[in-house]
Structure 1
């Protein structure tokens, strides 16, 4: 009889006979199962896929996730109960963590009042501010080191990250709005501002509402959990603002910023260089979103939806990065670039 992977993990950690098991949806990469025991233990078991298909940085992601949970321990962060990070182990790699209460914010957003939303944004900002107070072990980049050892500077790490996703785009023949060479040129031309970052902060980099759990009754909502830390890296805390206000303007998120300032002791000031760092990180996320559709095999409809949502925003970000260094790219050049790359 074939033993499923979750059962194999539970047997490996000596946890037999859970009272219930329930697959958790919403993820796009791992197998995630909630297991509950009669003695009150309530766990989430996460197992990565057996294949290695993915982007260059998507190697040994559980190393990143365990690093995140252990570095950010406390508050709404799950606690690691067991983990095996060696994919060559008999069970393969896995992490077992405690559950956090609540439902994804994205699932309850439509039912929140304006006051509840404002309070949650402030609490969310405070939680992110506390995350950013955690400093890494002396280098920048992904803890799993899929692109090489942690780098001595944020500029070096970020360049390796963007170079890797651009190489992935070429490898998978992903559709990008500009030729890869032009994108690389613009990112490199703006990268000097990254030298302002002198401390490798804990960055989640996937703080969209699907990874935030909201708990409590109507009128008393709270942040119950911050989950899925597998995309984390040590780097520029400004990078998290890309997903905290996904496709929005973080400068207008006044409640989030108030909570952030309360937790850090100082307001986040959007100087021209901070805005430039933010646009660089936004460009990186948009490149990931466009490129990952190919190895994930999302299908033509989802691919087109992602293109329509992300490609114009990537063009705007790259155009903004190009402006201070001379003339901007014209609409004709943008269209020609897209055609030559498509």
Structure 2
């Protein structure tokens, strides 16, 4: 079969697989031979291929998780978390790829993998810049609708969908901050600032525990994980994908909300569909806790990608937030 991979340094986090791995997987889960595979450059965590399969009219997507030993504890088994989330995402099912197969056995390769249908459209980061900026409001308004639909889904407990589960939101948040800090320290990085945020969150846990009902958080929904119609007169979302970082918790803690709040530009249309954000003093303080959690996870990602300057910059970013937390 024809295999095309992205050239990367041998020490890169994302590692390719062989053509034989892909062929054996297709035979096992689809009962057919793979004809060709092209590695897709979307995302920086899983390794993803578009695979043409003998006898199928449309290609499929084959995604490989990192080897278990390469995963941070705070990012462990994200693909399994996404798989566990699928039944809760029925509200946006027409926009999502369907899971054709998933295999956690590690019998064919020492990595989790999942086979999904291929979404139509063009990645939003490629297509959106081709539209006049004034028309981007339709994109963000639709993104607000999709996010609202997901956030309205209620769950059984707090924390990652695939567990561990926590009885309160405060427990889930402080555990997440502590786990990120441990990962940073394990990577040889200073995590005193994230530890400080975890301590402050524990001290004022009652403000976090005002969130009494777990709601579904998308984890990573934004432009990079959306597909657009190639020839529509205005930006039109045809698909959304990569829900591996889903959580049960406070919708305000979602990555999507962070990015929607980041600038007062076309993205203000997001709030027209989603609804106005909570600006009470308690909500504002919680948002600071969430920001440190985001920045801690970003620091880990920058380290994983070899972005030393970005890692260094994260310390001043967290310092600003900690000063506001008190």
Shorter-chain-normalised TM-score: which range?
Answer: 0.7 to 0.9
CA distance in 1, matches of 2:270, 2:149: 13
Assess, with a 3 A threshold, how the Cα gap between structure 1 residues 180 and 129 changes in structure 2: closer, same or farther: closer
CA distance in 1, matches of 2:316, 2:136: 28
Aligned 8 A contact 1:215 1:223 in 2: yes
Note if 1:277 corresponds to 2:282. no
| Residue equivalent to 1:170 | 185
Residue by residue over 1:30-54, the C-alpha shift from the partner in whole angstroms, topping out at 9 and shown as x without a partner, is 2211123453233211111224223
- Correspondent of 1:304 among 301, 305, 309: 309
- Correspondent of 1:315 among 298, 301, 319: 319
Alignment of 1:1-342 (within 5 A): 4-37=20-53, 38-73=55-90, 74-84=93-103, 86-91=104-109, 92-136=111-155, 138-145=156-163, 149-175=164-190, 179=193, 181-217=195-231, 219-241=233-255, 245=259, 248-249=262-263, 253-261=267-275, 267-294=276-303, 296=304, 298-299=305-306, 302-308=307-313, 310-322=314-326
Aligned 8 A contact 1:241 1:250 in 2: no
3-state SS of the aligned residue for 1:269? coil
Cα distance, 1:249 vs. partner?
A: 4.6
**Number of residues paired by the alignment?**
305
Residue by residue over 1:174-220, the C-alpha shift from the partner in whole angstroms, topping out at 9 and shown as x without a partner, is 145x5454333333334321112122211122123211222232523
Cα distance, 1:293 vs. partner?
A: 3.5
3-state SS of the aligned residue for 1:57? helix
Most deviating of 13-22 and 199-208:
13-22
Aligned 8 A contact 1:78 1:98 in 2: yes
CA distance in 2, matches of 1:52, 1:111: 41
TM-score normalised by the chain length of structure 1: 0.80
Relative contact order, CA 8 A, sep 6+: which one is greater? 1
| Cα RMSD, aligned residues only | 2.6
TM-score normalised by the chain length of structure 2: 0.83
Aligned 8 A contact 1:128 1:260 in 2: yes
Cα distance, 1:124 vs. partner?
A: 0.4
Cα distance, 1:18 vs. partner?
A: 3.9
Cα distance, 1:250 vs. partner?
A: 7.7
Aligned 8 A contact 1:116 1:219 in 2: no
Q: Specify every segment of 5 or more residues in structure 1 that has no aligned partner in the other structure, as ranges.
A: 262-266, 323-342
